[in-house]
Amino acid sequence: MFVIGWAWLIVCWILWLLVFVARRMRSKSPEAVVMAPVARWGILLQGSGYALLWSFPRSPGETARAPLIAASMILAPASVVLAWWAVRHLGKQWRVQAGLSADHELVQTGPYRLLRHPVYASMLGMLLATGLIWTWWPLLAPALAVFLAGTEIRVRAEDRLLASRFGDSFGRYRSRVRAYIPLVR
């Protein structure tokens, strides 16, 4: 089951990355008028969380148990679907760096009805799916903590940008829609 779970995870990673490559190749994001440079620290921390995760595989004799593999096999494709759905609804406004364009809109359709930052939710899902199968288990918690710290920086930076542009409209949206983890404010 481990080999199937591992192969499934690799396919999911390829599909997950493909959405961002395809979006980047298909359309160029409008030039950002307002940026949040602090979000770069978030990107660095998120990347560090992934690096921790991938750098320390389980020892050769220690394979993940069947329930962990099954959880990963559910979480990874759900994360792929969420990423594709989110990027599709965000459209030309998707970018790596936090920024607002002159014609920026507050997207509240598709997955943005459920989460303000569904791409980060998909990133978290892929991190957990990978950690359940690949990572030496004592390092999953620190990798998760570093990733979440980076995500919080990015969420707060983006929320500040959106609040500055959309004011009360964003405030109402923020009060009714979770950030990136369902059921957690």
Domain ranges of the chain: 2-176
Whether the predicted pLDDT of 27 surpasses 70: no
- Identity of residue 25: M
Helices (H), the chain: 2-26, 39-55, 66-90, 118-133, 140-176
DSSP assigned state of 57: B
CA-based nearest residue to 29, from 81, 82, 98, 85: 98
Instruction: Tell me the mean pLDDT in the region 3-12.
Output: 90
pTM here? 0.91
In the prediction, which pLDDT does 60 show?
A: 66
pLDDT of residue 158: 93
Contacts of 24 (CB under 8 A, 6+ apart): none
Dihedral angle sign, alpha carbons of residues 80, 86, 91, 94 = negative
Task: Output the pLDDT for position 24.
Answer: 64
Pick the CATH number of 2-176 from 1.20.120.1630, 3.40.50.300, 2.160.10.10, 1.10.10.1150: 1.20.120.1630
Q: Does residue 115 register a pLDDT over 80? A: yes
User: pLDDT at position 173, please?
Assistant: 97
- Pair of tokens at residue 87: 């990027």
Looking at the predicted structure, is the pLDDT value of residue 21 above 80?
yes
| Both tokens assigned to 147 | 């990733």
Asked if 127 contacts 50 with a C-beta cutoff of 8 angstroms, the reply is yes
pLDDT of residue 142: 96
Mean pLDDT of 23-50: 80
DSSP H or E run through 34: strand 32-35
The tens digit of pLDDT for each residue in 56-109 reads: 888 767 777 889 889 999 999 999 999 999 999 988 888 778 878 888 899 999
| Per-residue pLDDT reduced to its tens digit, 135-172 | 888 899 999 999 999 999 999 999 999 999 999 999 99
Give the pLDDT score at 30. 61
